[in-house]
Each structure stands twice: as C-alpha cells, then as structure tokens.
Amino acid sequence: MGLRIFTLNLIKTNKNLFQNNQWINGALFRTHRFASAEVNAAPLAVKTQKISKAMKAYLERAQEHDEFMKTQQLEYQIGKRHLANMMGEDSETFTQEDINNAIEYLFPSGLYEKKARPSMRPPEEVFPARKAAEFDETGRPFHSFFYTEKPNFFKMLYDIVEELNKLYDLEERLLRRGQKADPNQKIDLTGFAWISKDQLELRLVEKLDDIEYDNFVNVMNRLIAHPYSYKCKAFIDEHTRPLMSQSAQIEIPKPQIDADGRQYITTYECLRKTARGDVTVRVPGTGKISINNQDITYFEDIQPREQVLFPLIFAGMLGKCDVEANVAGGGTSGQAGAVRWGIAMCLRSFVDQEMLEAMRLAGLLTRDYRRRERKKFGQEGARRKYTWKKR
C-alpha cells in the first residue's frame, strides 16, 4: 500500500515537472520570436520612412539645376578654348579679361547699352545662386519667417528693429542717470550710401520689390538718426557702400611749368564720336579759350558752347585758367564733347579731392562712347521700320 502511494506521488511530480518545462520552453520561444521581430522591425522602419512631397520636389529641382550648371560650365570651357585658339593664346592662361577683349575685337558693337552687347561670362555670374533647402525631410521649415515668402529679408528687418530697441533701452537707462549722448560721436555718412537694391538682392538671395527696398532704407535712416547710433556702427557698416573709393584710385598727373612760369596740363586722345583732339589748361589765366586758334565763337550754336564751359563753371575755374584746344573730325556735337572731356581731365590737377569726387559723380570724368547706330538692312533707319501697307 505504501509503495503504491509513493509511486502515485512520483508520477504526479514528474507530470508537474513536464508541464513546467513545456511552459518555460513556450515562454522562451515566444520571447525569442518577439526579440527577433523587434530586431527585424528597425530596418523595416528605416526602409519605409516617408519623405515629404516638398522635400522630394526640392531634391528633383536641385538635381536638375546641378546638371544644368554642369552643362553650362562645359560649354563655357569649350567656348573659352575656341576664343583662345582664334586669338592665338594659351587656353590655360586665358583670363576673363582676355575673353572680354577677344569678344570686343571679334564682335564689335555700336550699341551703347552694355547689356545688349555680346558677352561670355562664367555660369556662376550669369545664373543667380539658389537657396538651400529651407525645410527638413518631414517638411518642417527651418526658418521662423518661412511663410513670409522672403524669410531673409524679414529676418534682416527684424535684426534692425532689435538694434533699434537696444538703443532705446540704452537711452532710457542713461537718461535716468542724467547722461546725454555725445553729439561729436554721431555717425556721418558723407561719402557713403546704403547698398543698392541689386546688392541687397544678391546678399539675401531673394527678389525684392521697390517698396520693400524703400522700407529697408527708411528703417536704416531711423537707426542712423538715433543719438546713440554709434554704438552699433559695425552693424551699420555692413549695409553701406563707399562712394569715394573710385576717385581715390584715380592717378592724377602733376602739372608742368611752361616758359612763363605757369602750370599746365595737356590731355591727349580726347574722343567723342569721330572727333579727336587734345586740350591744354594753363593756371593761372584770364579765362581765355582757344579752339583751333579761334575763340569760343568757333561753335556757332549755344549748346556746344555750353558744353565747353560746363566743366569750368562746375569746378569754379571759369576766368581763372586759359584753355587751348585742337580738335578735328566729326561735327560740332562731337568736337564740343571731346573738348569738354579734355578740359575736365585737365582740371583734376587743379582741384581738391572733394571737387574731384563731385566731378566724377557728375559724369565729367567718364568717356562717352555713344555712336550713331548704323542703319539696318530692310529698315528705314537704325530702328525705324518702313510703313506697312496692306495694298
């Protein structure tokens, strides 16, 4: 009897152990299956990650733009080699200045507007730069002003207003202490101007309207008018451009002394249309003007006389110097323009730097290369067409 009871207990124990082993094996199998599922789930999630439509469209446009720029760069290099071979130069040392000179020599143009003349420049200068992606792969914008359509412009305005608010806070704190701004430290923009609209567009890589550029100028004028504007001079200098940089680089010849002890300057190759001449200005003088051994009545009309006298009146040298000019070729307009340019170039040696800059801004020191445009075949004139008649 006791042996039978012991046997039954042993069978029950083995049965429980077997069930426990089955439960453990099943748990281990499920754990292994879930673990393998978790391990395999990560690569699937990466593979099925979606890219927004905006990012996909941007990537397509960027790829097309890169291929287009590669093609243009290849064509530019081919054209550069052809020009170098035609001019008998080495294509490896053929610079952009050589390219411009070669095109001007091979394709002469009488058009005054430079944009209408043939040219060949690197693709980076011809085609504007493109913005980088302004949003991530999920389509979320990086910039807080993204939905203004011109984020860089409005961010710049925001920065200007921030600088203005800082100056207002500084002024209020100093007024509480009883201090005032030093008027001697006020910023003087003489000889400087705000950057142009084209320069601002290149800097921002955005197209601006006239009213938007006017808003930029107005807010910068408000900033410069603040009594403590010198505190943010570095910020203001970033948005200004010098006006006197060109006149400072002009090489001014030194006057020579004639037999009478007077200073004189002679300018050769005075050009205007087909007129050619040379002009000599002597200081001091009595205001005598000699053109081809005649006085100013050499020009019968009033307009060419005014052209000759304008540089002397503008520089305040009328009646203080003598002018001797020899001119040939062309008509009265061309000869008057040649003499005027020669007088202006001679006066550089007898005026100060401020007047020199004023003359440059007035256009007195710039050659006038305008020519009469040739008549076109099949037309009545350079631009005029024949009257169209139906019958």
Residue 322 lies in a domain: yes
Contact of 323 with 290, CB cutoff 8 Å: yes
What amino acid occupies position 334? G
Supply the pTM of this predicted model. Answer: 0.45
| Burial class of residue 114 (count of CB atoms within 10 Å of its CB; 0-12, 13-18, 19+) | exposed
Q: Are residues 279 and 192 in the same domain?
A: no
pLDDT of residue 339: 95
Residue 105 lies in a domain: yes
List the beta bridge partners of residue 272: 275
Residue 1 lies in a domain: no
Q: Are residues 61 and 96 in the same domain?
A: yes
Ranking 59-68, 221-230, 305-314 by mean pLDDT, the lowest is: 59-68
Domains identified in the chain, total number:
3
Contact of 283 with 350, CB cutoff 8 Å: yes
Residue 132 lies in a domain: no
Q: Are residues 352 and 280 in the same domain?
A: yes
Residues 330-367: tens digit of each pLDDT: 999 999 999 999 999 999 999 988 888 889 888 899 88
The beta-strand segments (E) located in the chain are: 192-194, 240-242, 256-257, 263-272, 275-283, 289-291, 322-328
Residue 231 lies in a domain: yes
What amino acid occupies position 58? Y
Could you tell me the residue range of the domain that residue 97 belongs to? 53-126
List the beta bridge partners of residue 264: 256, 282
Q: CA of 366: how far to CAs of 30, 100, 173, 391, in Å?
A: 90, 20, 52, 50
Q: Are residues 276 and 353 in the same domain?
A: yes
Ranking 39-53, 104-118, 275-289, 323-337 by mean pLDDT, the lowest is: 39-53
Residue 381: which of 369, 389, 373, 390 has the closest Cα?
Answer: 373
Q: Are residues 212 and 267 in the same domain?
A: no
pLDDT of residue 242: 79
pLDDT of residue 135: 63
pLDDT above 70 as % of the chain: 78
Q: Is 269 left (phi over 0), alpha (psi -120 to 50) or beta?
A: left
Instruction: Name the pLDDT band for 322 (thresholds 50, 70, 90).
Output: very high
Q: Are residues 306 and 343 in the same domain?
A: yes
Cα dihedral value 280, 284, 287, 289, nearest 10: -20
Domain boundary among 242, 268, 288: 242
The sheet that has 256-257: what strands, in order across it?
Answer: 256-257, 263-272, 275-283, 322-328, 289-291
All residues at 6 or more sequence positions from 154 whose CB lies less than 8 Å from its CB, including other chains: 145, 148
What amino acid occupies position 360? R
What amino acid occupies position 380? E
Q: Are strands 289-291 and 322-328 parallel, antiparallel or unpaired?
A: parallel
Q: Are residues 212 and 278 in the same domain?
A: no
Residue 296: which of 284, 283, 282, 312 has the closest Cα?
Answer: 312
Domain boundary among 242, 273, 293: 242
Of the two residues 372 and 299, the one the predictor is more confident about is: 299
Mean pLDDT value across residues 195-217: 89
pLDDT of residue 133: 58
Q: Are residues 197 and 100 in the same domain?
A: no
Q: Are residues 274 and 329 in the same domain?
A: yes
Q: Are residues 89 and 58 in the same domain?
A: yes
Structure tokens at 202: 């290149």
Residue 230 lies in a domain: yes
Residue 308: which of 293, 320, 324, 329 has the closest Cα?
Answer: 324
Q: Is the pLDDT of residue 1 over 60?
A: no
Q: Is the pLDDT of residue 370 over 90?
A: no
Let me know the angle formed at the C-alpha of 313 by 307 and 318, rounded to the nearest 5 degrees: 110
pLDDT of residue 32: 46
Residue 381 lies in a domain: no
Q: Are residues 316 and 342 in the same domain?
A: yes
pLDDT of residue 36: 44
| Contacts of 295-304 spanning 24+ positions with Cβ under 8 A | 299/332, 299/335, 299/336, 300/332, 301/332, 303/333, 303/336, 304/332, 304/333, 304/335, 304/336
Helices first, then strands: H and E counts in the chain: 12, 7
pLDDT of residue 301: 93
Q: How many other C-beta atoms lie within 10 A of the C-beta of residue 255?
A: 16
pLDDT of residue 357: 85
Residue 173 lies in a domain: yes
Q: Are residues 296 and 325 in the same domain?
A: yes
Give yes or no for a cis peptide into 183 (omega within 30° of 0): no
